[in-house]
Amino acid sequence: MSSDPSGAPAPAGAALTVPFAHPDISEEEIAAVTGCLRSGWLTSGPRCAAFERDFAAFLGGGVEAVAVSSCTAALEIALAALGVGPGDEVITTDYTFSATAMSAVHLGAKPVLVDIDPDTFNIDCGKIEAAITSRTKAILPVHYAGLACDMTAIRDIAQEHGLKVVEDAAHSFPATTDGILIGQGTSEAAAFSFYATKTITTGEGGMITFADPAAAKKARALRLHGIDRDVFARYQVPNAAWRYEIVAPGFKSNLTDMAAAMGIVQLKRAWSFQKRRAELCRRYDEALAGLPLRLPPQAPPGEIHACHLYAVRLLDAAPIGRDDFIAQMAKAGVNCSVHFIPLHLHAYWRDSLSVSAEQYPASQRAFERVVTLPLFSAMTEAMQDHVIRSAKTLLA
């Protein structure tokens, strides 16, 4: 057994500790970042451009990719590039991290929260139309845990009402819907996360994919102060002009070449990461079956689940409450989490949107029962076995 996330042997007598997540970094990523440092080009430059090309090629479908500093920035810039602004409304889910809804607020728009499907934790498509008003501009679905939303239903609603769709794909790389990868033109835009816990990582970072080249061009200006061209080109192209023009009220959200260097390598390993995560999910499914908990939903036949999170729900018959379960697992050296605290439970959203638990019964119920177990591609079977034994000790 090992208490080190890398799998290195633990000292004799040391207790096994399992982190909630741990990045899967090889010597190739380290060499790529070192090479970037030695190149003398650290901020957005040739590696960032290469990462964008590689990511777009990975997804296929002729999409354009725009690298940014985070998924939060990706959501804000995607909405802005598609024309969302002051006075507009953006429909999204109550069961998500705050950044999803806050991306609308930062543009002067209002998020309108919808309850979730109690089986998938994804937005309840049957409740979207009731939330549409004359001010609605976009729908912002979240692919929870790596399981794709019903994008056919969402696109149909959007087309009927003339709305844009921006996908919060922070959990869903790589995942499919209707047999195609999320971000491969499944909507007007999709926002991905490369945070340290995600399926591939650049430490901090994000990517937006667009079906429309004009929207991608606008996003490239928005990500860096609204400048009308890539800044690095002003220094690299022979006889490049020093002049530039601000064409939009932009952000400071560009991705560095150091992060992109790591991302290029991580992208090459994406399918092996997904395969390993899927194997670990199957081991969890088999080992935890029969305990007083509900296992995560599977992807529909023929579809791919990104397996970003393994979120179980304790049943009423469980001999221990959710919070106590997490505390006892921590004492056993297993770090669990909760995804998510619904927006209606946060003071800012509760007060600014005048929302309450009664409006989101499925979201509230999910929050009261959910526990996210450790899951990461660098996880050893010894680590996972320790999680399983600890869970069985508390629940069997």
User: What is the CATH number for 94?
Assistant: 3.40.640.10
Distance CA 144, CA 126 (A): 17
Q: Please say if the pLDDT value at position 9 is more than 80.
A: no
Q: Examine residue 64 and state whether it is found in any structural domain, yes or no.
A: yes
pLDDT value, residue 3: 39
- The pLDDT confidence band at residue 242, using thresholds 50, 70 and 90, is confident
Instruction: Tell which residue, 371, 372, 361, 375, has the closest CA to residue 95.
Output: 361
Domain boundary among 213, 241, 268: 268
Beta strand segments in the chain, E? 64-68, 89-93, 110-114, 136-140, 164-168, 176-177, 180-181, 189-193, 206-210, 293-294, 310-314, 370-373
Whether 217 and 360 map to the same domain: the answer is no
pLDDT value, residue 326: 98
Number of domains in the chain: 2
Distance CA 342, CA 260 (A): 32
Whether 274 and 235 map to the same domain: the answer is no
Mean pLDDT of 55-81: 98
Q: Examine residue 175 and state whether it is found in any structural domain, yes or no.
A: yes
CA 286 to chain centroid, in Å, comes to: 26
pLDDT value, residue 116: 98
Residue 388 has phi, psi (to 5 degrees) of: -65, -45
Mean pLDDT of 146-166: 98
Q: Which residues are catalytic?
A: 198
Q: Examine residue 277 and state whether it is found in any structural domain, yes or no.
A: yes
Whether 223 and 292 map to the same domain: the answer is no
Instruction: Tell which residue, 323, 268, 314, has the closest CA to residue 293.
Output: 314
pLDDT value, residue 237: 57
> 166: which DSSP letter?
E
Task: Identify the bridge partners of residue 310 per DSSP, sorted by sequence position.
Answer: 373
- The pLDDT confidence band at residue 236, using thresholds 50, 70 and 90, is low
pLDDT value, residue 10: 46
pLDDT value, residue 230: 66
Distance CA 272, CA 340 (A): 27
Domain boundary among 268, 292, 319: 268
Q: Examine residue 257 and state whether it is found in any structural domain, yes or no.
A: yes
Whether 227 and 360 map to the same domain: the answer is no
Break the chain down into helix, strand, coil percent, rounded to 5: 40, 15, 45
* CATH number of the domain to which 296 belongs: 3.90.1150.10
Give the pairing type, strands 180-181 and 206-210: unpaired
Other CB atoms within 10 A of residue 119 CB: 9
Whether 233 and 274 map to the same domain: the answer is no
Whether 348 and 242 map to the same domain: the answer is no
Whether 258 and 275 map to the same domain: the answer is no
Other CB atoms within 10 A of residue 275 CB: 12
pLDDT value, residue 234: 54
Read off the pLDDT of residues 104-116 as tens digits, 9 standing for 90 and up: 999 999 999 999 9
Contact status, residue 180 vs residue 59, Cβ threshold 8 Å = no
Instruction: Tell which residue, 300, 296, 375, 365, has the closest CA to residue 334.
Output: 375
Domain boundary among 221, 244, 268: 268
Q: Name the least confident of 2-16, 169-183, 261-275.
A: 2-16
Q: Examine residue 383 and state whether it is found in any structural domain, yes or no.
A: yes
pLDDT value, residue 243: 79
Whether 248 and 167 map to the same domain: the answer is yes
Contact status, residue 146 vs residue 171, Cβ threshold 8 Å = yes
Q: Examine residue 11 and state whether it is found in any structural domain, yes or no.
A: no
Domain that holds residue 339: 270-395
Q: What is the DSSP string of 167-232?
A: EE-TT-TT-EETTEETTSSSSSEEEEE-BTTSSS--BS-EEEEESSHHHHHHHHHHTBTTBSS-TT
Distance CA 349, CA 218 (A): 30
Q: Please say if the pLDDT value at position 157 is more than 80.
A: yes
Read off the pLDDT of residues 47-65 as tens digits, 9 standing for 90 and up: 999 999 999 999 999 999 9
Residue bearing the bigger pLDDT, 7 or 319 = 319
Read off the pLDDT of residues 258-304 as tens digits, 9 standing for 90 and up: 999 999 999 999 999 999 999 999 999 999 999 999 999 999 999 99
pLDDT value, residue 265: 98
Mean pLDDT of 29-37: 98
Distance CA 104, CA 110 (A): 6
Distance CA 90, CA 168 (A): 13
Whether 241 and 118 map to the same domain: the answer is yes
Tell me what the pLDDT averaged over the chain comes to: 94
Q: Examine residue 228 and state whether it is found in any structural domain, yes or no.
A: yes
Whether 240 and 338 map to the same domain: the answer is no
Whether 161 and 263 map to the same domain: the answer is yes
Contact status, residue 280 vs residue 384, Cβ threshold 8 Å = yes
Whether 285 and 311 map to the same domain: the answer is yes
Q: Examine residue 48 and state whether it is found in any structural domain, yes or no.
A: yes
